[in-house]
Amino acid sequence: MDTLYLSVALFLLLTLVAGMWRILQGPTPADRMLAAQLFGTTAVACLLLLAQVLQQSALRDVALVFALLAVVTAVAFVKRAWTEKHDT
């Protein structure tokens, strides 16, 4: 069972690396930011799996923090860096 958890975690990490291509490509700022959001969620899944394998419940707290902070960066993006004005 532990091997399965770790394999899924590794698989998720690899999809995360693949998703990085979208940050590099763009073309719009939203695309880059969306990829970062996906990273956050994938990292949460990885952390929950690691918490089960390594038997460290603190990692679930770290996953919670990831979830909360992903919201803050996304809202900062929408309200600051990508406002409704048409400039970039």
Partner 1 sequence: MEEINVLLLFDVVLGLTLVWLAWQTLSSLDLFRAIVLFIAFGLLMALAWVRLDAPDVALAEATIGAGLTGALLLSALAQLSASQKNETKPSLFIRLTLGVLLFFLVIALAYTVLSLPTKAVGLSVEVAKNIELSGVSNPVTAVLLNYRSYDTLLELGVLLLALLGVWSLGGVSTNKSSFPKSSFVNPVLDLVTRLLVPIFILFSGYLLWVGAFAPGGAFQAGAVLAAAGVLVFLSDWYLPSKYSGFALRLVLVIGLVWFVSMGFSFVLLDNAFLEYPPEFAGGLILLIEAAATLSIGISLAALFLGREPATKSDSNIDIDTGVNK
Partner 2 sequence: MILDILTVILLLVGALFFLAGTLGLLRFPDVYTRLHALTKADNVGLGLIVIALMLQADSWFVVGKLLFIWILILLAGSGVAHLVANTAQKRGIKPWKK
Contact string 15-54 vs partner 1 (x = CB under 8 A): -xx--x--xx-x--x--xx-xx--xx--x--xx--x--x-
Of 6, 21, 58, 80, the one binding partner 2 (CB under 8 A) is 21
**Contact status: 31 vs partner 2 (CB under 8 A):** yes
What letter does residue 12 receive in the DSSP assignment? H
Instruction: Note whether 49 binds partner 2 by CB under 8 A.
Output: yes
